[in-house]
Chain A
């Protein structure tokens, strides 16, 4: 018999205090945080990029090493925001009771969710940038336009923050996140064009992949990294923005239900 407060989020500037708090903690835990976000993509890039790259050559006119690097950058932005939105938000909401402490101050739930969403996106940028640097040093980046991918990392972070925080709002324990990672994050990572073009999939699968956001993130980041023109930029930006907006509103509504009871 829970009445959901479905009013639209109305965060205030104090949301940035949450962003600041998380940034200060991030700075303290920089080593483990970067190792976690950075290690796996670099291993994929080196292992698959150098290994498979020899056989594959170019894909859609892009060297495979560049093709893969651009996909891994998008996937990293997705993973960083998703894991922060699930595990870290859940920890602050339950074990650490950080939100209980904050809700004794003038901040409100809407400020917390807005701050966490902005932080997830910021962390997507912070933890994906080192991969971009390493990819550049390894010669995977073809153009200066790759700088344009940085704001896209932020948007991808926003896009995945809302759904991840929404999942956290329903989670009874950390194990619950296995559903979301196994059913959505991992399939997107494999099927959305990180490793091969989406066009090689059966048509039905292509439809599903194009409904999900990661393929749109890749469609923006890949040409920027390869120095090619971006096709249909408004469509891809629109899809990512729509996921970000709907996810953020839903996350706010359900985190309210979890914290204000």
Chain B
């Protein structure tokens, strides 16, 4: 392996998954580089979780090829799983076990005996700030603690690849920040993170590179910064209110793009000056200005209708 460019940790070609008539994943090509954090962004039902399940050998491919850690799926799935950690979307610890018993049992699934992982468990409990709850029953844990336990469990086999399916959904800001800090530390330690999320702030904070998936296809790929520069104007003015009042005002301003999601109206512009001048003609209008972010890319590429 003298190659100067490291092999990608995941390679997919024409990855396809059908459930009966429903085409969940429609021919995805993917090269996830080794190291750093790679994001899968997309609305609900876009095919993110199905793709993760295929990578783990939990969902047979309808068509295409998939190589993970240099091993083919599904033939190499045992070794792939042995070298991968998974944080699932919903916490699925054993409710009858305590925190530490969960970690010990999970280690056994990797063929690791309790004595072999005793030190590692202590480290992981400290790393995820669960040390004082080690003997608590899982049923007694808060949502944030359960999620931290899921992350600790995913690290029990010292994986090279860590897959996280919406890791901070439903958590309070303090826990989210703790998790983000830990994920950055894992990245710094050389792990590869594969993250699905529909939180754009999370993707912007963590991902070095990401793909936007919609309706089973990759819509775009790049770093968060590149995607923002490539797809949206740098200035965003947000207005709240009824479309009937606001849209006529915006129609009078030249050189802008308007996107309405319910009663929120996004006004995208290359230059800030003309927009502000136009808006100030209507003094009662309330607006906020911000820099373009990944959410704007997401809305532009995946549309703004509701997805269930």
Q: Which residues of A are at the interface with B, using a C-beta cutoff of 8 A?
A: 1, 14, 17, 20-21, 24-25, 28-29, 96-98, 100-108, 259-261
State how many angstroms separate the Cβ of B239 from the closest Cβ of chain A.
Answer: 43
Give the residue of A1, A20, A21, A98 whose beta carbon is less than 8 angstroms from that of B92: A98
CA distance A102 to B106 in the complex (A): 8
Could you write out 24 A-B pairs with CB less than 8 Å apart?
Answer: A1-B20, A14-B109, A17-B109, A21-B94, A24-B105, A25-B97, A28-B96, A29-B96, A96-B95, A97-B88, A97-B90, A100-B88, A101-B94, A101-B153, A103-B57, A103-B58, A104-B84, A105-B82, A105-B106, A106-B81, A106-B109, A106-B111, A260-B60, A261-B19
Please name the residue on chain B nearest to A91 by beta carbon: B95
Please name the residue on chain A nearest to B82 by beta carbon: A106
State how many angstroms separate the Cβ of B131 from the closest Cβ of chain A.
Answer: 22
Which chain B residues in 239-254 approach chain A with CB under 8 Å?
none
> Hey, which chain A residues are within 8 Å of B77, CB to CB?
108
Known: A14-B109, A20-B108, A261-B59. A101 touches B82 (CB 8 A): no
CA distance A25 to B59 in the complex (A): 29
CA distance A107 to B111 in the complex (A): 10
Please tell me if the beta carbons of B58 and A106 are within 8 angstroms of each other in the complex. Answer: no
Closest 9 CB pairs of A and B: A97-B92, A105-B109, A104-B86, A101-B92, A106-B78, A25-B96, A106-B82, A106-B81, A17-B108
Please tell me if the beta carbons of B96 and A259 are within 8 angstroms of each other in the complex. Answer: no
> Hey, which chain B residues are within 8 Å of A103, CB to CB?
56-58
> Hey, which chain A residues are within 8 Å of B110, CB to CB?
105-106
Verify if B93 is at the interface (C-beta below 8 Å from A).
Answer: yes
Please tell me if the beta carbons of A101 and B106 are within 8 angstroms of each other in the complex. Answer: yes
State how many angstroms separate the Cβ of B117 from the closest Cβ of chain A.
Answer: 13
> Hey, which chain B residues are within 8 Å of A1, CB to CB?
20
Please tell me if the beta carbons of B81 and A104 are within 8 angstroms of each other in the complex. Answer: yes
Known: A1-B20, A261-B59. A100 touches B92 (CB 8 A): yes
> Hey, which chain B residues are within 8 Å of A98, CB to CB?
92, 94
State how many angstroms separate the Cβ of B258 from the closest Cβ of chain A.
Answer: 43
> Hey, which chain A residues are within 8 Å of B92, CB to CB?
96-98, 100-101
List 8 extra interface pairs beyond A25-B94, A108-B77, CB under 8 A. A1-B20, A24-B97, A101-B106, A103-B56, A103-B57, A104-B56, A108-B78, A261-B59
CA distance A84 to B45 in the complex (A): 34
Give the residue of A14, A29, A101, A104 whose beta carbon is less than 8 angstroms from that of B93: A101
> Hey, which chain B residues are within 8 Å of A108, CB to CB?
77-78
Please name the residue on chain B nearest to A29 by beta carbon: B96
State how many angstroms separate the Cβ of B19 from the closest Cβ of chain A.
Answer: 7
Which chain B residues in 59-110 approach chain A with CB under 8 Å?
59-60, 77-79, 81-82, 84, 86, 88, 90, 92-97, 101, 105-106, 108-110
> Hey, which chain A residues are within 8 Å of B90, CB to CB?
97
Known: A14-B111, A97-B90, A102-B109. A260 touches B59 (CB 8 A): yes
State how many angstroms separate the Cβ of A242 from the closest Cβ of chain B.
Answer: 31
State how many angstroms separate the Cβ of B43 from the closest Cβ of chain A.
Answer: 22
CA distance A239 to B192 in the complex (A): 53
State how many angstroms separate the Cβ of A97 from the closest Cβ of chain B.
Answer: 4
Please name the residue on chain B nearest to A25 by beta carbon: B96
State how many angstroms separate the Cβ of A256 from the closest Cβ of chain B.
Answer: 10
CA distance A181 to B298 in the complex (A): 52
State how many angstroms separate the Cβ of B250 from the closest Cβ of chain A.
Answer: 47
Please name the residue on chain A nearest to B101 by beta carbon: A24
> Hey, which chain B residues are within 8 Å of A261, CB to CB?
19, 59
Please name the residue on chain B nearest to A101 by beta carbon: B92
> Hey, which chain A residues are within 8 Å of B81, CB to CB?
104-106
> Hey, which chain A residues are within 8 Å of B101, CB to CB?
24
> Hey, which chain B residues are within 8 Å of A101, CB to CB?
88, 92-94, 106, 153
CA distance A104 to B95 in the complex (A): 18
Which chain B residues in 98-134 approach chain A with CB under 8 Å?
101, 105-106, 108-111
State how many angstroms separate the Cβ of B62 from the closest Cβ of chain A.
Answer: 10
Please name the residue on chain A nearest to B96 by beta carbon: A25
> Hey, which chain B residues are within 8 Å of A100, CB to CB?
58, 88, 92
Please name the residue on chain A nearest to B105 by beta carbon: A21
Please name the residue on chain B nearest to A13 by beta carbon: B111
> Hey, which chain A residues are within 8 Å of B56, CB to CB?
103-104
Please name the residue on chain B nearest to A107 by beta carbon: B109
Please name the residue on chain B nearest to A26 by beta carbon: B96
State how many angstroms separate the Cβ of B86 from the closest Cβ of chain A.
Answer: 4
> Hey, which chain B residues are within 8 Å of A105, CB to CB?
81-82, 106, 109-110, 157
> Hey, which chain B residues are within 8 Å of A24, CB to CB?
97, 101, 105
> Hey, which chain B residues are within 8 Å of A14, CB to CB?
109, 111
Please name the residue on chain B nearest to A28 by beta carbon: B96
State how many angstroms separate the Cβ of A84 from the closest Cβ of chain B.
Answer: 14
Known: A29-B96, A105-B106. A260 touches B20 (CB 8 A): no
Give the residue of A17, A28, A96, A260 whose beta carbon is less than 8 angstroms from that of B58: A260
